[in-house]
Structure 1
């Protein structure tokens, strides 16, 4: 049986979903918490004009990504998985942010097979290109579309901004410990099933 390939989003999945909040609070004179963000589109969630928010985000991206804290438990689980699986980090970040992204992974001591910054939220092409067997995501519509297009399980990390209903193949997890437990069971089940994938 081939070594499984994991497709993993970075922001809000490997990094803590609160990463942007201190920057938003400081620069927009707000006092919000993650619970206040009910939509993925932050300009809409915070009622900030889209162009203003986009300009701000483009300027702040390097600082945000350099200082993003890891999601709790992510490092321990990813280090275990790297011994057993191939890890492909597929992110909507734009390609000019590759140096900052690689430096962050090095600083956090997280190993990987590939980092792909696609500059778009449409991750289906990259997931298909690398033949990933499972995906990890925090954006609701990404999780649903990846599952429906590729017919693979997608683990959706629960946040206040991704609470729309999900189909059966999208599995909600609250943290990396739950993700690891689900994956352990999935891998065990796959090993005991007749080989149905090349």
Structure 2
């Protein structure tokens, strides 16, 4: 069995992909549904300026991330993967909220995985630095950049990433799918 270097995104990959919507809906007085969430960029989805999003994050961001719902089987899958592979959490979350991110990981009993809070959606350089064999991701732009750099991506299927495909991208429905694909990749 090959020992893989696996990079793992948090938001939309470990968390429910739509967990942010109730917070944005309430704050901005909207009623968008998951079915309407067809864009990964919140500014485009909600018709907001970058300044409006910055103000929202200053007021609500930490609370929103602290209370994000975790997807089923994440913890169990990570425990299994840690036995045979090198795991790295690589998130676009800002360094300023890293303590909140660590708190969320510990709340869900996810420990002993190195965390990289990039503060940027561009993840290719960090993936290359970590000799990433496969990246678990939901963001379509990140996925295409990683795939174009020659990195295999397991893409968590969402309403906002349906439009992309690439020879290095495999769509997955859940963490059971992720485990099956990673077992195949390691053999």
TM-score w.r.t. the length of structure 1 is 0.88
1:42 lines up with 2:42 in the alignment: yes
* CA offsets 1:109-144 (integer angstroms, 9 cap, x no match): 013431000110110111111111110101112111
Aligned to 2:102: 102
User: 1:169 maps to what in 2?
Assistant: 168
Partners of 2:81 and 2:58 lie apart in 1 by 33
Q: Is the 8 A contact 1:37 1:46 kept in 2?
A: no
TM-align CA RMSD = 1.5
User: What aligned pairs does 1:36-185 form with structure 2 within 5 A after superposition?
Assistant: 36-149=36-149, 151-185=150-184
8 A Cα contact 1:8 1:87, kept in partner: yes
Structure 2 CA distance for aligned equivalents of residues 132 and 124 of structure 1: 9
What TM-score, normalized to structure 2?
A: 0.93
Relative contact order, higher structure (CA 8 A, sep 6+): 2
Report the Cα offset of residue 2 of structure 1.
6.1
Contact 1:15 / 1:70 at 8 angstroms: preserved in 2?
A: yes
- Figure out how many residues of one structure are paired with residues of the other and give that number: 187
Unaligned runs of 5+ in 1: 189-198
SS class of match (1:119): coil
How many angstroms does 1:187 deviate by?
Answer: 1.3
SS at match of 2:87: strand
Higher gyration radius (CA): 1
Alpha-carbon distance in 2 for matches of 1:3, 1:52? 44
